[in-house]
Copies of this chain bind each other. A is one copy, B any other.
Amino acid sequence: MVATAILGASGFAGQETLDRVLAHPELELVALGSDSLAGRTADALDPRLARNGHGPLPVFVPNDEALGADAGLIFCCLDNEAAAELEPPADTVVVDLSGAHRLVDPAVHAEWYPGPGANGDWCYALPELDPPTGPLIANPGCYATAALLALVPIVDAIAPGGIVVDAKSGVSGAGRALKESSHAAAVLENVSPYAVGAHRHAPEIGQVLGFPVCFVPHLLPVRRGLIATCYVEPRGELRPLLEDAYDGSHVVSVLPAGQVPDLARVQGTDSAEVGLFEDSTTGRAIVICAIDNLGKGAAGQAVQNANLALRLDETAGLRLSGVLV
């Protein structure tokens, strides 16, 4: 069993990480960090934990204490600023779910994120396409994950210019903090483009692809789930590239021709669906990827990255079947 700590467990990503750690056959929670919940038991975050019958409930400790808990694995669910200040212990696998260590170029980092951060010794890791190469892992952003799952396998077979990624996410992607834009009266019966032309996940996508893409996120009246509709100009057959990339994957499915990725089928899971279409009037290709923003887009991928770094079964502790209807 790998001793595991979570920092910043009180947000959505932290709570989802906790769920997966508790269900993981090879991980043992040794420290549950949250400055706001320190001293309280885990059911303060999720009342269901009080009735899991698995013995005494974990108690929240301050994040600093969790960091020093001598864990072999740390999930960092802190905000960008706090994560940027993190000094990872030696000989520890750290998966940072924030954006603090995603961007390699310090100048680009400084443009989009506060604090020092930047990539340094961290590796940006997307399990299916670019697995972790070291113990310090920058977990991809939710939008970037969906866009990259759609685009990385075909990057050499599409024109590098003119790529558009139009993405739509459920409101949990915006986090648990109270904001005007997350008020239900602003979200219900609405769909809201935001950070138009200026979202942090655009340079992250561009960094992996090697060229910039035009990316616009939209907020949906949906609790969880994210879909990225990607428009590209093909320069060859794309379907075999996608199918090869995810052949044998238990996480990412390439759908048969004509079948559209469906949010309902990936909600509550760590899996992803990818669909490929041709536009009849322009010949462009449309690649659509659906994930759960908190699953494959955050906590699920973090656990998957940790499994790879620790040489555990890649899908241990993941949720691969979900709840439909």
Q: Residues of A at under 8 Å CB distance from B?
A: 12, 15-16, 19, 23, 46-48, 51-53, 161-162, 164, 166, 168, 170-172, 176, 178-180, 182-194, 196-198, 202-203, 206, 212-216, 218, 220-225, 227, 229, 231, 233, 250, 253, 255, 259-265, 267-268, 275, 277-282, 284, 286, 288, 294, 319, 321-325
Contacts and interface: CB of A to CB of B under 8 A. Distances in A.
B202 A280 contact: yes
A206 B281 contact: yes
Nearest to A171: B184
Nearest to A212: B281
A172 B196 CA distance: 27
A264 B184 contact: no
A218 B178 contact: no
A105 to B, nearest CB: 13
Contacts of A323: 267-268, 319, 322-323
Given A162-B162, A277-B196, A221 B220 contact: yes
A11 to B, nearest CB: 10
A166 B167 CA distance: 10
Given A189-B222, A263-B190, A264-B189, A46 B324 contact: yes
A177 to B, nearest CB: 9
B255 A164 contact: no
Contacts of A198: 280
A65 to B, nearest CB: 25
